[in-house]
């Protein structure tokens, strides 16, 4: 399991707080447009598809498949805190409910990860107010 005590933390603001708070509670939430049903990720003040500002935070099923990935075999993003986890799998995940998100995949041998692999999120606290979704093979 990833240890976030010595890794960079996200900047939490009014726009992103619902995402990080829900992850702390073990839930994946994203903005969903009430006009066109598009699921936004990353949080934005408008719909990425139609431009509407009528977005609602919605619980999203934390399952999907690997769209793309990279394997970091050296210190990831120049932060020594990742050293004990090498190699680190960073992926773009296509969630079943339509959004694509960037996330770490754990509990997977780097030789076994592949595009299309089914994954499911689990959640880890990273601070007093935030958690983070991390994926593993389902």
Q: Is 104 helix (H, G, I), strand (E, B) or coil?
A: strand
Give the per-residue pLDDT at 5.
Answer: 61
pLDDT at 85: 79
* pLDDT one-digit tens code per residue, 52-102: 999 999 999 999 999 999 998 886 666 677 677 789 899 999 999 999 999
Distance CA 43, CA 40 (A): 6
- Residues 6 or more apart in contact with residue 14 via CB below 8 angstroms: none
Per-residue confidence (pLDDT) for residue 4, from 0 to 100: 57
pLDDT at 14 over 80: yes
């Amino acid at each position: 399991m990833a240890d976030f005590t010595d890794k960079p933390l996200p900047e939490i603001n009014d726009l992103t707080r619902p995402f990080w708070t829900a992850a702390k509670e073990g839930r994946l939430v994203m903005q969903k447009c009430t006009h066109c049903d598009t699921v936004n990720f990353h949080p934005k003040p408008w719909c990425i598809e139609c431009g509407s500002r009528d977005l609602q935070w919605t619980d999203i099923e934390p399952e999907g498949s690997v769209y793309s990935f990279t394997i970091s075999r050296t210190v990831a993003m120049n932060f020594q805190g990742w050293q004990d986890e090498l190699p680190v799998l960073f992926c773009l995940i296509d969630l079943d409910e339509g959004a694509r998100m960037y996330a770490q995949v754990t509990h997977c041998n780097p030789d076994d990860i592949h595009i299309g692999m089914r994954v499911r999120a689990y959640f880890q606290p990273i601070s007093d107010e935030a958690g983070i979704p991390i994926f593993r093979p389902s």
